[in-house]
Structure 1
Amino acid sequence: METSDKLRLGVNIDHVATVRNARGSAYPDPIRAAKLAESAGADGITAHLREDRRHIRDGDIDGLMATLTTPLNFEMAATHEMQAIALKHRPHAVCLVPEKREERTTEGGLDVAGDESRLGAFIAPLIEAGCRVSLFIGHEPAQIHAAARIEAAVVELHTGAYCDHHYEGNYAARDAELAALKEGARLAHSLGLEVHAGHGLTFETVAPIAAMPEVMELNIGHFLMAESLFIGMEAAIRQMRALMDEARA
């Protein structure tokens, strides 16, 4: 598999829905946010339909599928309910993530190595339906090898610990995590997996991840939605895009 100088940006619009749901209103509209993200330079839109529907709802997925001109990356837990929804819509990409009801956000990567047989059977109908299956995992070699064995097309490496260490001021741990992510990206690429990355990335932390030649796509949401409160969504996305391109160059 080849690397690419063009690094794609997937914009996650989940937390537009979080704000909407806080008041139980019809606004702000995640579909409007997705369209604005597209016009600002997003290469795709990511939306996570959680089992508890805490932010994105079923109708949002219907609207995104009907409206988007860029690919939808449909994040979901590996449950029969979510599989049925994905097979109904057949989005461009399906990203399987671990999910716990009590967590604020996704806390770690999927344990593919520990659930290899079930996950292999779970993704087979999605692949047959034409979806590109991505697995949100940590950088551990065992997880990467397992992802390759069950014939996922993509792994998305969890960058949350790297970002957390940066903002905690624990730079030794941050640099160790970054080194492990680089090794994971190289391994995944060598096994024929397309490499994506995401979780917690900001203007301050994106460059070292964007500079990895094996990484083809970054998925960024919470920070961009938060920064949009201060500078606007279009400006936030364009600045992130510029930082990614500068790091890649």
Structure 2
Amino acid sequence: MTLRLRYVAGVSPSKWLRVWNDLRPELPLEAIVVGEAEQLVALGAGDADIAFVRLPVDTEGLHAVALWEELAVVVLPKEHPLAGAESLTLADLEGEATAPVQADAAMTIELVAAGSGHAIVPHSVARLHRRKDVVAIPVTDAPATQISLVWRRDRDDADIQEFVAVVRGRGAKSSRGSADDPPPMKAAKAAKLAAAERRAAAAKSGTGKKGGGKGGRPAPRTGAGAKQRSRRRGR
């Protein structure tokens, strides 16, 4: 017997799988990634017990627990005039060509890299398909996407409740949710985190250093103020 999990691309369930394997070694967890178009197919057919999905989906007949919001980013070729921006708005992208959306997000980003246009995708998807020839920039006013954990109401047993509790980091009795649960991360906060990631990556690669001094230190001060300080120090 196994607990069958399906998850949409961009979700990384490995940490929960490790906890589950330690907690319930007698009940293996089968985890399979699925495309967004098929994220409820196995669940509806009875071939899966629980799923991480990206909303919107039809949740009729399902229990659903909201987990987190995903920031929207625009993927652009590295040479694009807007590629150096820390963040953008939808208005900034007006008039820009849009890459044809493919069933596989990796192929959509491949078309972006080839110069077919830009693509707006969840930040997690952009990170999953990261390439050296494209950049991902937060779009501050684009709608965020929501990741939820869902399972069938007629398949609501102790094993599923225990896995939901593992994901939420809470006791099994509170796994369906309560008023004191922290809200999902807001898009504005996620945008700040994404911008910080970009600055850190630029600094690591040497492109984000400021000032003219060696090793990124500010250049020595010159002029009258510097001369006065030198005289006070006896130089």
Which TM bucket (shorter chain)?
under 0.3
> Normalised by the size of structure 1, how large is the TM-score?
0.25
> Normalised by the size of structure 2, how large is the TM-score?
0.26
If each structure's strand is expressed as a fraction of its own residues, which one has the higher value?
Answer: 2
Larger radius of gyration: 2
If each structure's helix is expressed as a fraction of its own residues, which one has the higher value?
Answer: 1
